[in-house]
Structure 1
Amino acid sequence: MEFTRKKGCRIGIVAAGLLTLTLAGCSDSSSDADDAAGGQASSTPQATTQEPAQATAERPSDAGGATQGGDGSQITLDALTASDIDEANFSGELGCQFSTAQASPLLVAKGNVDSSSAAQGVVKVSGYVERVSAPGGFDGMTGNPTFEGKGKTLHIEVTGEPSGGGESPARPATLTYDRADGAQRTLEGEWQCGP
């Protein structure tokens, strides 16, 4: 009986020793894993920080090319609402508008035919409706007009033939927005003039 107990004790002692070694081995491994994880944790935020910067640089712009130059802030043109246009209270017989596939319209202007008076227009820059004008009335807007306003110049360049029929078909065009600080952004869209 005593022998069995001693044998059982020996087994118990051996088992306890193995358990201790196993636990010590586990804690050493977990320490190594913690150290490795700690090393990975310090490199993970760097990778995370770098990924969004790369994604931002590679992300296509919402309505055209990215802003170039200036103080580094983006030129953001928002779609004009019906109330924005109504509040502008334009006088003029005929109008033109520039639109992109993402936003319509971005620039709206009106002018009189055969007029030396400037065509009057509006754009919405970063949520604020701002007035612009172009020389030559309506006739001056039908080709490649240049609109000017406080701290900005917008140049429309027609780049192709009308995309549809009717009295006032839209034509492929670019709108280049130049800001007084030297920033510039070019958007591709359509220029449409008529009643």
Structure 2
Amino acid sequence: MAARHLALSAAFAALLGAAACSEQKPAEPAAPAETRAVAGAEAAAPPPEPAPAVPASGGETVGGDGSQITLNTLSAADVEANPVQGELGCSFGGAGATPPLLLAKGDVGTKDAAFGLVKVGDYVERIAQPGGFNALTKGGTFSGQGKTIVIALTGPAIGGGESPPRPATLTYQRADGASRVYTGLWTCGP
């Protein structure tokens, strides 16, 4: 047993001697977690861009109770059955002779409301915006029962003439937090 103890002691001493003779680097303090994360991020590919919160024209409804917002074009019969008063008007729709998704009219030079129509599903609904026709030419924000509709001009007028159309978006916002964006043209005039 003494021989065994002596052999173990000799082995332990040899191990300690080898460790003492080897070149040792001083321990470097660990980099803060923040630095390690940044250093690792340089080598990794950047994360993908998040999807836009608001979908493009024809996109899906975002938020709310999950039901879709569906705007349909206003027919001549819809406009005739729901007359809107005003000297001049604006409409939001596609290029060419496409019937509009929104039609609004107002009087020139007044702060009175301009009134309009949208067709949500199969129902024609009334909307309003303060400022008459002059405010309509700048787009604006319409309100109606359980909804807000924002027309945002997104580019310069296309073509010439007295009232050329302008690229715009229509954002329909429902009271439950749902919204949907449509892309088209905002055209004002007689």
Number of residues of Structure 1 aligned to a counterpart in Structure 2: 135
> Residue in 2 aligned with 1:163?
158
TM-score, structure 1 length as denominator? 0.66
Runs of 4+ in 1 over 6 A off after TM superposition: none
Please state whether the residue corresponding to 1:133 is helix, strand or coil.
strand
One-letter amino acid of the counterpart of residue 150, structure 2: H
Query: In 2, Cα distance between the equivalents of 1:190 and 1:64?
Result: 14
> Residue in 1 aligned with 2:77?
83
Q: What is the Cα deviation at residue 137 of structure 1?
A: 0.5
Query: In 1, Cα distance between the equivalents of 2:153 and 2:73?
Result: 20
TM-score, structure 2 length as denominator? 0.67
* 1:99–1:191 contact (8 Å) kept in structure 2: yes
Q: Is it true that 1:121 corresponds to 2:116 in the alignment?
A: yes
Query: In 1, Cα distance between the equivalents of 2:73 and 2:56?
Result: 12
Q: What is the Cα deviation at residue 65 of structure 1?
A: 2.3
Give deviations 1:13-68, integer Å, cap 9, x for gaps: xxxxxxxxxxxxxxxxxxxxxxxxxxxxxxxxxxxxxxxxxxxxxxxx99522110
One-letter amino acid of the counterpart of residue 77, structure 1: L
* 1:63–1:100 contact (8 Å) kept in structure 2: no
Give deviations 1:99-144, integer Å, cap 9, x for gaps: 0359630000000001121000000001100000011010111113
> Structure 1 regions of 5+ residues with no counterpart?
1-60
Please state whether the residue corresponding to 1:104 is helix, strand or coil.
coil
Query: In 1, Cα distance between the equivalents of 2:105 and 2:94?
Result: 19
* 2:87–2:105 contact (8 Å) kept in structure 1: yes
* 2:153–2:167 contact (8 Å) kept in structure 1: yes
Higher helix proportion: 1
Alignment of 1:96-115 (within 5 A): 96-100=90-94, 104-115=99-110
One-letter amino acid of the counterpart of residue 141, structure 1: L
Of all paired residues, the percent bearing the same amino acid is: 57
The CA RMSD measured in Å over matched residues stands at 1.8
